[in-house]
Amino acid sequence: MELDQWIKQQKDIIYNDNIKSPKNDETDIINYTTKVQDYGKKIIRAIEKEDTQTLSELQWPSTLMNCILDLSIRTVLLDRIEDWLLTYPYVRSRLHLNELERENTGIQ
For the chain, give every domain's residue range: 3-105
Conformational region of residue 87, where left means phi above 0, alpha means psi within -120 to 50, and beta covers everything else: alpha
- pLDDT in the model for residue 51: 96
Share of the chain above pLDDT 90, in %: 51
User: Confidence band (pLDDT; 50, 70, 90) for 15?
Assistant: confident
Residues with Cβ within 8 Å of residue 10, at least 6 apart in sequence? 39, 59, 85
pTM of the model: 0.82
The reported pLDDT for the residue numbered 18 is 78
Distance CA 65, CA 59 (A): 11
pLDDT at 37 over 80: yes
Q: For 50-83, how does the pLDDT look when each residue is reduced to its tens digit (9 = 90+)?
A: 999 999 999 999 999 999 999 999 999 999 999 9
Confidence band, pLDDT 50/70/90 cuts, at residue 1: low
Nearest alpha-carbon partner for 60 in 78, 45, 43, 37: 43
The DSSP output letter for 60 is -
